[in-house]
Amino acid sequence: MPDLSPERIAELERLLAEATPGPWVADFESEDDGSGVWNIDGPGGSNVVTTGGYDGWFKGGVEEAADAALIVAAVDALPALLAELNRAWAAVKDEAAQTCAALEERAALLAERERQRTQAEGFIGVLRSNQDTLLHKVPRTEAVRLQLEVNLAALVSIRAALEGTHHA
């Protein structure tokens, strides 16, 4: 796979900026015997490249015509290709930044949920301790015992709800 890193793209952009600007045109300059050279010209007919076979001349066959057409097409397409590569790189960088931000936000939410769960566990422990103290020191009336059990059940429900959001 060709190197399309940002550094390679910058090198191609530099080469393109230093070269004759497009569009380029390929033209076969033939001799009477059918031999000739391919001239690749820039704007206004300025010669950019002349290709030839042995001794600078060849027959202008299909393969040479295809080579000349490819050179012209590649040079003319290069600015658009480089622009698209730069756009794609920018989109990848933007998406990566958004993903990192979303992950950091998610981590902060999970840390806050864990803090709340730990705090609820502490409250439950204090209430259990208070319940035990009250049951031993206060006359064991049915109303007090039932209220303490209701309070404890409510806190256990809160803890379960927090654990449910913690695993979500």
**Whole-angstrom Cα distance, residue 134 to residue 121?**
20
Per-residue pLDDT reduced to its tens digit, 34-69: 667 778 888 877 777 776 654 544 444 545 667 777
Burial string for 1-39 (b: 16+ CB within 10 Å, else e) reads eeeeeeeebeebbeeeeeeeebebebeeeeeeeebbbbb
Per-residue pLDDT reduced to its tens digit, 82-127: 888 889 889 999 999 999 999 999 999 999 999 988 888 888 888 8
| All residues at 6 or more sequence positions from 123 whose CB lies less than 8 Å from its CB, including other chains | 155
For residues 26 and 89, the answer to whether their CB atoms sit within 8 Å is no
Q: What is the average per-residue pLDDT within 129-138?
A: 71
Examine the pLDDT at 168 and tell me if it is beyond 60.
no
Q: What pLDDT, on the 0 to 100 scale, is given for residue 56?
A: 47
Examine the pLDDT at 12 and tell me if it is beyond 60.
yes
- Percent of the chain having pLDDT more than 90? 15
Q: What pLDDT, on the 0 to 100 scale, is given for residue 94?
A: 94
Q: How far is CA 97 from the centre of its chain?
A: 8
Q: What is the pLDDT of the chain when averaged over all its residues?
A: 79
| All residues at 6 or more sequence positions from 163 whose CB lies less than 8 Å from its CB, including other chains | 117
- Percent of the chain having pLDDT more than 70? 79
Report helix, strand or coil for 6: helix
Q: What pLDDT, on the 0 to 100 scale, is given for residue 140?
A: 60
**Whole-angstrom Cα distance, residue 125 to residue 119?**
10
Report pTM.
Answer: 0.52
**Whole-angstrom Cα distance, residue 118 to residue 23?**
69
